[in-house]
Amino acid sequence: MKSSCCLPGETLIKLENKGGAFISDIKEGREVLAHNNNKYKVLSTLKKMYTGPLYILNIKGMEHLLRLTEEHAVGVSISLKTNEITWKAACYMKPGDLVLRPYGDQIPDPKSEYPRHKYGTLHPVESVTIEQATNKPVYNFEVETVHSFIANDCAVHDC
């Protein structure tokens, strides 16, 4: 797990029990939902004080903005035909990128306006802004097997 890949403490993480918790409250051994909608254990956690840019993704159809350090990777579609996703660092995200919103504990909506992926729906990034963080607590954790989790309804990699 890279210490340069982190999220602010107020980021909501999807849990195995259809609930959520702030990333600052996640402990080793807890089960979280991954990009593929399955549950996996948290192997280790990281907290550090961070000074540097926080990338803020405003994603269409999402209730919350997604804030990440520049190297934290987000699940994005690379092909609607093949259902492939890749992990793209926040510093490379741009408007129009399609972010994976895993179904998690949601029932798929057949009338959704967003393109469907085998694990969820794809939502376009509307804007990317940067704010400067100064000595801000940020967090990350390592997830077994798939190394991903759902943060503010978006698939992110544990780096």
Domain boundaries, the chain: 7-157
> 109 pLDDT exceeds 90?
no
Question: What's the mean pLDDT in 19-25?
Answer: 94
Please answer whether residues 41 and 146 qualify as being in contact, where contact means their C-beta atoms are separated by less than 8 angstroms.
no
Give me the pLDDT at residue 87, please.
Answer: 96
Q: What is the pLDDT of residues 65-87, one digit of tens each?
A: 999 999 999 999 877 777 788 99
Query: Cβ atoms within 10 A of the Cβ of 132, count?
Result: 9
Query: Band of the pLDDT at 146, cuts 50, 70, 90?
Result: very high
The answer to whether the CB of 152 falls within 8 A of the CB of 8 is no
C-alpha span between 116 and 81 (Å, rounded): 10
CB-based contact 119:103 (threshold 8 Å): yes
Secondary-structure class of domain 7-157 per CATH: mainly beta
Alpha-carbon Rg for the chain, nearest whole angstrom, is 14
CB of 138 within 8 A of CB of 9?
yes
61: left (phi over 0), alpha (psi -120 to 50) or beta: left
